[in-house]
Structures are given as C-alpha cells and as structure tokens.
A and B are shown apart, each in its own frame.
Chain A
Amino acid sequence: MSEQADAVDLVDLLSVEGEDLAAAWVREVSGSLGRRVSAAELERELRELYEALVEALRQDAVDVHSEQMSEVRALLTELSRSRARKGFSPTETAISVFALKRVLEPVLRKGSSESVHAYLQLSRLLDELGLFTIETYTQTRDALITAQAEQLLELSTPVVRLWDGVIAVPLVGTLDSARTQVVMEKLLQALVDTGSEQAIIDITGVPAVDTQVAQHLLKTIVAARLMGAECTVSGISPQIAQTIVALGIEFEGIATKASLADALKLALRRSGVDLVAHRDGLR
C-alpha cells in the first residue's frame, strides 16, 4: 500500500516542474562533460532517459531490476557503452545519473516531509542506476581491451615485401609464444602468396626472448626451409645473443646479420641480384 503511494510521490517529485527539471539535468551534466558530447546529443539522451524514468515510476517500478525499468536499463546501457567507447572516465559516465540528484535538491528545500521521504527513495534508486551504469561501462571497457589485444596481435606482425622475392617481418615488442606462432604462420603463408624465396626476420625491436620464443623462431626457419625458402635473422641485440648462447639454443646454420640492411643485401645476393654503386651517384 505504502509502495503505491511512494511511487506516486516519486512521479510528483519528478514532474512537479516538468520540462524544467530535465533541462536543469542536461545543464548540470553538460557542465561536467564539457564539449566532448554535443549538446544536442546530450539533450536527446537525457530527455529520453528522463521520460523513461518517469514512465517507469508511474508504473510502480520498485528497483533497477524491475520489469518496468527495462526501458531505463536499455537507455543507460546505450549511454554507458557510448561513453566507454569515447574514452570518458567511469566518474564522467556515472555523473549523468547522479547529477539528477543534485538537480532535485532545490525542489527538496521547498517541499514537505513527504517529499523528503520521496527524495530519499528516489535517491536510493538513482544510486542503483548509477552503479548499473558503472558496471555496464566496465563490461564495455573489458570487451574493448580484449578486442584491441587481438587486433594488436594481428597488426603487430606485418609481412612486408622488400624486393621481388624478398619479404620481411619486422618484429616489435615482447614476443610471447602465441604471437610468435601467429608470426610463423603469417610469414610462411606470405612466402607462398608472394613466391618469395628469401625471408628476413628482423628482431631489432624485440628487447628479450625466452627459450620458447627462440625455439619458435628456429622452427619457423626450418619450416621455411622445408618449403624451399631461406630465412635471415637480423637485429639481434647483445642481450638476446647472450640469452641464445646461455640457453644453449642451437643457431647453427642460420644466417644472422647485424642490421636489416645487411640482411637485405644478403637476401638479394642469394636471389642473384647484384647491387652496383655508381661513383657519381644517381644521375
């Protein structure tokens, strides 16, 4: 019985000044977000949310998980996701909800004890909605991070064509077992696709390797040889050279060069290309 009455109070609280409250809400939020969300967009988002909230309360929604709140939840989910994608912080995201509490404070000052009660009730509901926003925000960020990690794995292993019949993979960053395996498969497929007999694996940008990664690189080189191509490893840092020796990894019979340029020279010589320097330079 009392719940029924409360719900009506909440609706009253929100619709006493009708349009004005929603407008004040938009002003409050846009103050904290700056210009990163367009005024028109913010206006639309918050007005939709406001209307949905009033409608949900009119239908006696008790808490955030109520059936009547489904429209509010959908709108909040959309809002949180869009904030997360645009790089807003969790605070900046949740403020959209909490700002409504601040907007209601003046109303409270004028009101009776019933409206104080209603305010507290609404405040509890808004807290729940705020938490819901943060939760959705976090889920979106987690999904983004996972997707980016996968993309990075793909992007960070480009196979480039340096010359007719010479391809190279410049490796940058830490190599783990999974990434090295991706490189291995991409490089070998590129040999077939481009008909290249020479491949250069440049590890100038790799700070360290462990036994497993070194073994994967070795296997790549042997596999390339089975397919009829030769690999040269360039840019081995002093630290990595020491690791290779200390770990007792067999690098016998594998061509290594200090720099990518030297490796390219070797690859060209192996594929029968002569490099001639003109004394006068290019004319």
Chain B
Amino acid sequence: MSERIPILRIGENLVVSVQFDLEDQTVLNLQEDLADQIVAHSARGVVIDISALEIVDSFVGRMLATVASISRVLDARTVVVGMRPAVAITLVELGLSLGGVSTALDLEKGLAKLRASSDAAQR
C-alpha cells in the first residue's frame, strides 16, 4: 500500500510537484500514472517540480530519465524544475547527468520553456 502523487493539468501540460521523500514504489507509481495521463489528456508537456526534495538518488534519477523518454515517445516534452544545488552536485558525483532530461530553475521557467518549444513546433 503506497501513496500516489497528484498530477495537475494546466492547459495542455501536466504538472507534478513532489513534496516529500518518496518510497520506491511511489516513484514507480508516478512513472506509470504520468504515462497514462499523457495519453489520456493528449498532453504536450510535463513539468516535474522537485524543489522540495532534499535528495535524489539513482532510483528517482532513473525515473526522471525514464519519464522524459516515455513522454518523448508519446510526443510530449518533460522538464524537471527546481533541483537544489546540493542535490545537483550529488547527482553529478553519483554519476547521473540525466543527459536527455530538460531542466529549468523553477516552475514558471519550466512552463515558459514548454511554451517556447510548442511555439517553435507550430511555426
């Protein structure tokens, strides 16, 4: 029995804010739910806000990379926002650079990034 993180819909984007230290099962649930919701709402973008997370280990890091890949397959773009400096330093040292994942400093800049890329696509 584990928790599920709520996924919000704003226009054609999905927004997830991770507010607490996640159990591995909750991480897997989130990955599954996001894939389902992207298809259900024909979402064009996903923003995952991790500004409240004090640590991101390889399990969560891998989930972020996987969600980015899944969304790409489903024609949506994922932006991870709000990673703390200490978390970023630790992830790099751990050996995870999340190559294929887009990032932004905060939620607002993340949404702007999605808007910019969808504008570019429509042109």
Tell whether any CB of A sits under 8 Å from a CB of B in the complex. yes
In contact, B105 and A229 (Cβ under 8 angstroms)? yes
**Residue from the set A189, A227, A229 with the largest chain B CB neighbour count within 10 Å:** A227
8 Å CB contact of A226 from B97, B109, B110: B97
Chain A hits for B93, CB < 8 A: 219
Chain B hits for A225, CB < 8 A: 97, 103
User: With A222-B97, A226-B83, A226-B98 in contact, is A188–B89 under 8 Å at CB?
Assistant: yes
Is A224 on the interface with B (CB-CB < 8 A)? Answer: yes
In the complex, A204 Cα to B52 Cα: how many Å?
37
Is B81 on the interface with A (CB-CB < 8 A)? Answer: yes
Stretch at the interface among A2-10, A81-89, A191-199: A191-199
**Residue from the set A225, A226, A228 with the largest chain B CB neighbour count within 10 Å:** A226
**Residue from the set A185, A219, A225 with the largest chain B CB neighbour count within 10 Å:** A225
Closest to A218 in B: B92
Chain B hits for A197, CB < 8 A: 104-105, 109
- Chain A interface bracket (under 10, 10 to 19, 20 to 34, 35 or more): 10 to 19
In contact, A191 and B92 (Cβ under 8 angstroms)? no
Is B88 on the interface with A (CB-CB < 8 A)? Answer: yes
In the complex, A180 Cα to B89 Cα: how many Å?
13
Chain A hits for B87, CB < 8 A: 226
In the complex, A192 Cα to B93 Cα: how many Å?
20
Is A223 on the interface with B (CB-CB < 8 A)? Answer: yes
In the complex, A226 Cα to B56 Cα: how many Å?
12
Q: How many whole Å from B68's CB to the nearest CB in chain A?
A: 13
In the complex, A189 Cα to B86 Cα: how many Å?
9
Closest to B97 in A: A222
Q: How many whole Å from B91's CB to the nearest CB in chain A?
A: 6
Q: How many whole Å from B103's CB to the nearest CB in chain A?
A: 4
Closest to A194 in B: B105
Q: Which of A17-53 contact B (CB under 8 A)?
A: none
In contact, A185 and B106 (Cβ under 8 angstroms)? no
8 Å CB contact of A223 from B81, B85, B105, B106: B85
Given contacts A219-B89, A219-B93, 4 further A-B contacts (CB under 8 A): A185-B85, A219-B92, A226-B92, A227-B105
Closest 3 CB pairs of A and B: A188-B85, A223-B88, A228-B104
